[in-house]
């Protein structure tokens, strides 16, 4: 890993960060500060199911990327700062997370420090990229599609694409052709039964990381918030399917030449 400043034991940066394509996987982490782990009563398997395990491996096809090791249950890096720490069940899908019912002010402040370390480290790197011209940040996530239970049918494919491409806050006038190229290129990957089912904004449009980048770098930064359906793992047991994970990596890697070509057209 290359230390360019702004790193912590929760956030690190890999690559030279010369762009123009970078990646994040902000919900891939599973670690917790010891004091947070002591205060937590949420079952670890349930926590793992609500995180985005292995998305760091999907994002690893991009040379320049952020590595985050902490769980979203310590600090959710894809929410606005005021909402980033789950203090009560109302903040996180009704789940009982904390031994005392809510998170103490002291632990809350420590978790905000984790959140700040991410954005404080990311900002100067993206500032430097933006000086060179337009860039793309691939914000890699995953989502559950078997919430009714391990033995129940999956959610309908019509509402749950293999890859949901979130572009809700993208400047479509400028980056529309780039988005179209990305979706076209990722669909070229075979899912075994035909082209990969990739669609825009079916269930997810992108959240705080996309908002932050688009506000900070208007008409320069473009975030594609990618939600890979958890067909590369069993979301109930946590078991990984290496072949399907490899297919997801291949699909994302296949989009990189096209992204660079489209960005070059904008320079």
Query: What's the CA gap between 143 and 146, in Å, rounded?
Result: 10
CA 212 to chain CA mean position, Å = 14
Geometric angle at alpha carbon 45, from 40 and 48, rounded to 5°: 85
Per cent of the chain over pLDDT 90 is 92
* pLDDT interval class at 5 (50, 70, 90): very low
Tell me whether residue 247 is in a domain.
yes
Res. 19: pLDDT tops 90: no
Q: Which domain holds residue 44?
A: 11-266
Q: Take residue 21 and report the two structure tokens written for it.
A: 């394509």
| Nearest residue to 200 (alpha-carbon basis) of 236, 166, 245, 250 | 166
Tell me whether residue 208 is in a domain.
yes
Tell me whether residue 19 is in a domain.
yes
Average pLDDT over residues 43-69: 97
Q: Given this model, what pLDDT does residue 45 score?
A: 95
Total of domains in the chain:
1
Mean pLDDT of the chain: 94
- The length of the chain in residues reads 267
Tell me whether residue 194 is in a domain.
yes
* pLDDT interval class at 1 (50, 70, 90): very low
Res. 144: pLDDT tops 70: yes
pTM for this prediction: 0.94
Q: Take residue 22 and report the two structure tokens written for it.
A: 């970078």
- Residues 90-136 have pLDDT tens digits of 999 999 999 989 999 999 999 999 999 999 999 999 999 999 999 99
Res. 52: pLDDT tops 90: yes
Query: What's the CA gap between 38 and 205, in Å, rounded?
Result: 34
| Nearest residue to 142 (alpha-carbon basis) of 248, 222, 242 | 248
- The answer to whether residues 65 and 226 touch, using CB atoms and an 8 Å cutoff, is no
* 20 cis-preceded (ω within 30 degrees of 0): yes
Tell me whether residue 4 is in a domain.
no
- The answer to whether residues 225 and 166 touch, using CB atoms and an 8 Å cutoff, is yes
Res. 8: pLDDT tops 80: no
Tell me whether residue 162 is in a domain.
yes
Query: What's the CA gap between 89 and 96, in Å, rounded?
Result: 5
Q: Given this model, what pLDDT does residue 189 score?
A: 78
Tell me whether residue 5 is in a domain.
no
Q: Which of 14-18, 83-87, 138-142, 188-192 has the lowest mean pLDDT?
A: 188-192
Tell me whether residue 6 is in a domain.
no
Query: What's the CA gap between 31 and 8, in Å, rounded?
Result: 13
Query: What's the CA gap between 77 and 222, in Å, rounded?
Result: 18
CA distances to 1, 20, 136, 212 from 182, rounded to whole Å, are: 28, 15, 11, 21
Helices 256-266 & 172-187, crossing angle to 10 degrees? Answer: 160
* pLDDT interval class at 4 (50, 70, 90): very low
Question: Which CATH number fits the domain that encloses residue 180?
Answer: 3.40.630.40
Q: What count of Cα atoms within 13 Å lies in the side-chain half-sphere of residue 173?
A: 2
Q: Given this model, what pLDDT does residue 267 score?
A: 87
Which residue would you say has higher pLDDT here, 5 or 89? Answer: 89
Q: Which of 2-11, 129-138, 160-169, 177-186 has the lowest mean pLDDT?
A: 2-11
């Amino acid at each position: 890993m290359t230390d360019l400043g702004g790193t912590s034991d929760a956030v690190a940066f890999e690559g030279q960060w010369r762009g123009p394509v970078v990646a994040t996987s902000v919900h891939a982490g599973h670690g917790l500060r010891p004091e947070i782990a002591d205060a937590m009563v949420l079952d670890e398997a349930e926590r793992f199911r609500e995180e985005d395990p292995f998305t760091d491996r999907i994002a690893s096809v991009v040379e320049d990327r952020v590595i985050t090791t902490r769980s979203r249950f310590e600090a959710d890096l894809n929410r606005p700062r005021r909402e980033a720490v789950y203090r009560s069940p109302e903040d996180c899908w009704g789940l009982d997370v904390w031994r005392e019912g809510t998170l103490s002010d002291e632990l809350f402040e420590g978790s905000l420090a984790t959140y700040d370390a991410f954005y404080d480290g990311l900002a100067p790197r993206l500032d430097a990229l933006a000086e060179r011209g337009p860039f793309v940040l691939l914000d890699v996530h995953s989502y559950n599609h078997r919430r009714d239970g391990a033995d129940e049918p999956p959610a309908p494919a019509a509402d749950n694409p293999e890859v949901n491409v979130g572009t809700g806050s993208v400047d479509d006038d400028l980056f529309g052709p780039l988005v179209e190229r990305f979706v076209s290129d990722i669909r070229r990957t075979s899912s075994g039964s035909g082209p990969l089912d990739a669609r825009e904004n079916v269930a997810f449009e992108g959240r705080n990381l996309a908002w932050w980048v688009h506000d900070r770098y208007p008409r320069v930064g473009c975030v594609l918030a990618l939600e890979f359906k958890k067909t590369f793992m069993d979301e109930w047991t946590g078991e990984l399917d290496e072949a399907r994970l490899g297919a997801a990596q291949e699909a994302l890697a296949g989009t990189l030449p096209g992204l660079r070509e489209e960005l070059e057209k904008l320079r």
